[in-house]
Amino acid sequence: MNKNTPFSNTNEKSTKLIEVKLPADCLEIGMHVTRLDRPWTEVPVLLQGLTINSFEDVDLLRTHCNHVFIEIDEEFWLEKGSNTSKEDKAKHYPGFRERKAFREELPRAKLTLEETRSHVEDILDSIERDDGIDITKSRAVISSCVKSILANANALLWLSQIKDQDHYTAEHCMRVGILAIAFGRFLDMDEKELELLGLSGMLHDVGKMKIPKDILNKPSRLTRIEFDIMRQHTTFGKEILETYKDLEPMIKDVAHYHHERIDGKGYPEKIHGGYLHKYIRMITIVDAYDAITSNRSYKAGSPAFDALKILFSERGKHFDTELVEAFIRMVGVYPPGTLVELTNGEVGIVISANTESRLRPKIELVLTANKKNRPPYIINLLDDVLDESGEVYAVKTGLANGTYGINVKDYTQI
């Protein structure tokens, strides 16, 4: 941990450190925890006193504690308390505010997803044939996605995670658009911003249609020469979108720069991330997350938790640190659509993450402990719901779709 952080217990300035009581859901990476609201022996940590170095540490404390005590620079704390900026407040994101119940929004979300998938396929086919993109239709489709996410983000997120490996590029563009809208919603962006962000995400990879098919769809890893050709998709994307004068410049910039990195080691122009617009930095994260978690012809997709660890390990290098941490809070350890087994043997499907504790999502139970079908029943693990034996429900592990004969897609039927 950097010595100059205001949360450090060793400070070069010799400033006064004070102990402050803090709700567990306000914990951040870098904070030094001195005391808990319970004995240290009740929390699975190795030593008394803990510097939070990872989002796993944050989840551990949020799961076991209601509040903790941290050691912090007194001057920084007083300054933060008396003059908290809008930017500081925004770091504690409120999460998704639901206007409709999950099941109530699901029918509209299904229609929206089908319309979006069909339109993205039309876009890519048109580019391949050197025909025009129906931008008016694109805006209408994205507007429908935004309205669904504003009503209940988890319905469309859940449905979009049912992936089709055979149509990767189209599905990827669609999911990046949807995930980008959800991410913007999580950051409390307004409807117009969400529409611009979503359209930027949906069109970010259109340049891939100008990459030779034998490289784009190669069933094994690319050679160095092939990868250099693949990299050209960002330039091709910008060139394609430049022909549409009514498209916002940001959409064209996202297509061009979404493979740049915070440390300036990306492509095509090795621009330092600090000079890139927030939308580009957001879609860089969303693009990487979807790529890592998707099955490819040459590699199985990684579980969401592993993907989040990769994103977290690359913060400050490949990705914007604050945005990565916000994205992790949004997605949760078990994202919507994940099949999970609980500690009592019951099986369920994650409906939504809880920003207060990513290890305790909202779940729809679908199998009994004996792995028998049961009427779907929704529980929120954050409420410490008890099972039939009086034990608190908790997630034991995530499962691959198809385990115990459960196909998540079957549970999207209305």
- Summarised one tens digit per residue, pLDDT across range 108-123 is 999 999 999 999 999 9
Contact assessment for residue 170 and residue 117, using Cβ atoms and an 8 Å cutoff: yes
Decide if pLDDT at 3 tops 60: no
Per-residue pLDDT band at 309 (split at 50, 70, 90): confident
**In the predicted model, what is the mean pLDDT of the chain?**
85
- Which residue from 230, 225, 241, 231 is spatially nearest to 269, judged by alpha carbons? 231
Share of the chain above pLDDT 70, in %: 87
List pLDDT tens digits, range 263-280.
Answer: 999 999 999 877 899 999
Please give the average per-residue pLDDT across 219-231, as a whole number. 94
Q: Is the pLDDT of residue 13 over 60?
A: no
Q: Which pLDDT score is estimated for 82?
A: 41
Q: How confident is the model at residue 12 (pLDDT cuts 50, 70, 90)?
A: very low
CB 410 within 8 A of CB 401: no
367-375 CB contacts, 8 Å cutoff, 24+ apart: 367/404, 367/406, 369/344, 369/345, 370/345, 371/345, 371/347, 371/404
pLDDT per position as a tens digit, 319-378: 999 999 899 888 877 888 888 999 999 999 998 877 667 778 899 999 999 999 999 899
Q: Are 285 and 266 in contact (CB under 8 A)?
A: no
pLDDT confidence of residue 81: 47
The closest of 51, 10, 3, 45 to 27, measured between CA atoms, is 51
For 146-159, the pLDDT digits (tens) are 999 999 998 999 88
What pLDDT, in 10s, does the model give residues 170-190?
A: 999 999 999 999 999 999 999
CATH number belonging to domain 102-331: 1.10.3210.10
Report the C-alpha gap between 351 and 386 in whole angstroms: 19
* pLDDT range class, residue 93, cuts 50, 70, 90: low
At 39 the pLDDT is: 82
Is pLDDT above 80 for 166? no
